[in-house]
Amino acid sequence: MNVIKLYYIILFYVISVQSFSQCSSFQIVTDKTSICAPEIIQFNITNPIAGSTYEWNVGNGVVNGSDTLFSFYSLPQTINASVKITLPSGGVCNVVKKSIAEINPEPIPLFEISKILLCEGPDTITLRDITPNSASRCWVVDGTNYNNTSKTIIHKYVTDGSKRLSLIVTDRNGCKGVKEFIDTIVVFPKPAFSFIADATSGCLPQTVNYTLLSDPVIPNFTKTYFWGFDGVSNSKDTSTSPGARAYNSSGEFDVTLDLEVINGCTYKVEKEGYINIGDTVILNLNPATVSKCEGEIVHLVQSNNPLPGKIDWTFSGVAVDVLSTTNSDAKY
């Protein structure tokens, strides 16, 4: 009986030594160590022994197979691989390889833009790739391709309307991400707003009527008007046409029209010094001498200067040759 026990002990020892020797020759290897999801990785056992069975676990659950296994990955992760190998002799080898492969995520393209609303018609914008870990990129902007650019590009639109933009980014792991941005940028045609006054100069008191001369329609959007009048008591107005304004002080005055459109665009029409109002001046006109002979020069002196206004001289009842005229005198 003791001889039989000894025999089995020796046999178990021999099998164990053989199994250990065989187990040490097994390794898990892959065809890729870093991939971009989604992708397939091939796993292999080195020095396989015919007739062995394999129980794999490479992050997708337990799979019974051969010495070669293919596994699909759609999510980013670090792969720890293990396989239980049952030898034809009944011996078992457990092979483990941690961090054997890295599944990298697909980059999500991101960008920043100098402005998304172009209110003055086709204009130039600056685009900058801000995708984390981006290494290279290509852009398609309104049908124009920019290939292998730096992080920042400048694009000039030539037409108005809603614009598309596509950004293709490759990150430092070699993974590529593509994203299309629809209606991110809108180019509105530049509207030509204008207004007029029925009088831009005059003497105190002066009433001036204002009319919105050009008020282009911006389809599907409403407008708000903000008028500003220097030099009058009722200096603000929000109507389409503000009507009359009474000026009771002299000087040069600005008129502005600010328009806000519900689409976010703002426009400004500004006329600096548009209205010029002068004081009523009592003229003090005297001849330099009260008696003249025919053919002599007559010198008239006007002592109240009407600045900033201007005196226009006229002579009636007699034909004269005008030599000079100013705000302060005339010679003929």
The dihedrals phi and psi of 257, each to the nearest 5 degrees, come to: -130, 115
Same structural domain, 217 and 310: no
pLDDT tens-digit series, residues 206-264: 999 999 999 998 888 999 999 999 999 999 999 998 999 999 999 999 999 999 999 99
Contact 93, 26 (CB under 8 A): yes
Domain check: are 141 and 219 in the same one?
no
Last residue of a domain, one of 155, 187, 219: 187
Same domain for 11 and 85: yes
Strand positions, DSSP E, 230-303? 236-237, 243-247, 251-261, 266-278, 285-287, 299-302
Q: Could you tell me if 36 and 175 are in contact, meaning their C-beta atoms sit under 8 angstroms apart?
A: yes
**What's the CA gap between 35 and 7, in Å, rounded?**
52
Tell me the C-alpha distance between 7 and 195, whole Å.
115
Same domain, 143 and 203: no
Give the CATH number for residue 133. Answer: 2.60.40.10
Give 296-330 pLDDT, tens digit per residue: 777 777 777 666 566 777 777 667 677 677 766 77
- Show Cβ contacts of residue 113 under 8 Å, excluding neighbours closer than 6 positions: 125, 126, 127, 128, 184, 185
Last residue of a domain, one of 61, 86, 104: 104
The whole-number pLDDT of residue 252 equals 95
- Per-residue pLDDT tens digits for 69-116: 999 999 999 999 999 999 999 999 999 999 999 999 999 999 999 999
Nearest to 135 by CA among 150, 155, 145: 150
Distance CA 115, CA 107 (A): 24
Q: Look at residue 190 and tell me whether its pLDDT is greater than 50.
A: yes
Specify the pLDDT at position 313: 72
Q: 90 and 122 in one domain? A: no
Give the residue with greater pLDDT, 2 vs 155.
155
Q: How confident is the model at residue 203 (pLDDT cuts 50, 70, 90)?
A: confident
CB-CB contact of 100 with 70 (8 Å):
no
Domains contained in the chain, number: 4
Same domain? For 244 and 272 the reply is yes
Whether 11 has a pLDDT exceeding 60, the answer reads: no
Same domain, 82 and 145: no
Q: Which residues contact 2 (CB under 8 A, 6 or more apart)?
A: none
Check residue 290 and give its pLDDT.
67
- Domain holding 166, by residue range, is 111-187
Predicted pLDDT at 16? 46
Q: Which H or E element spans position 229? A: strand 223-229
Indicate if 257 and 296 belong to the same structural domain.
no
